[in-house]
Amino acid sequence: MTQQSTKKPRRRATASSMAARQREISVSEFFTKNRHLLGFDSPTKALLTTIKEAVDNSLDACEEAGILPDLDISIHALAENRYRVEVGDNGPGIVKAQIPKIFGKLLYGSKFHRLRQSRGQQGIGISAAGMYGQLTTGKPIVIESRTSRRKPAHRYELVIDTLRNQPVVKKDLEVEWEAAHGTRVAIELEGSYKRGRHGVETYLRQTALANPHVEIQFRGPGEEEALVFRRASTQLPPEALEIQPHPYGVEVGLLLRMLKETKARRLSTFFQTEFSRVGPTLARRIVEGAELSSKSSPKRVAADAAEKLIASIADVRIPAPPTNCLSPIGEERLLASLQEQIEADFYAAVSRSPAVYRGNPFQVEVGLAYGGDQGADDLISLFRFANRVPLLYQQGGCAVFKSVLSTNWKAYGLQQSRGALPSGPMTLLAHVASVWVPFTSESKEAVASYDEIVREMKLALQEVGRRLARHVKRTQRRRDADRKRAYIEKYIPHIGIALQDILGLSEKQEVEIVETLTDTLARSRKM
Note the CATH number of domain 331-472: 3.30.230.10
The domains of the chain are located at: 27-229, 247-315, 331-472, 479-526
Q: Rg (Cα) of the chain, in Å, rounded?
A: 31
Confidence of residue 510 (pLDDT cuts 50, 70, 90): confident
Cβ within 8 Å of residue 267, ≥6 positions away: 283, 287, 292, 293, 294, 295, 296, 297, 298, 301
Q: How does pLDDT run across 272-307, given as a tens digit for each residue?
A: 999 999 999 999 999 999 999 999 999 999 999 999
pLDDT attached to residue 192: 92
* Per-residue pLDDT at 209 exceeds 70: yes
User: 247-315: what fold?
Assistant: Helicase, Ruva Protein; domain 3 (1.10.8)
* Per-residue pLDDT at 431 exceeds 60: yes
* Per-residue pLDDT at 311 exceeds 90: yes
Per the CB < 8 A criterion, the answer to whether 58 and 73 are in contact is no
CA distance 415 to 131: 46
Note the CATH number of domain 27-229: 3.30.565.10
How do the residues of the chain divide into helix, strand and coil, expressed in percent and rounded to 5? 40, 20, 40
CA distance 186 to 142: 5
pTM, entire model: 0.80
Per the CB < 8 A criterion, the answer to whether 94 and 146 are in contact is no
Residue 148 CB: number of other CB atoms within 10 A? 10
Residue type, 403: S
* Per-residue pLDDT at 98 exceeds 80: yes
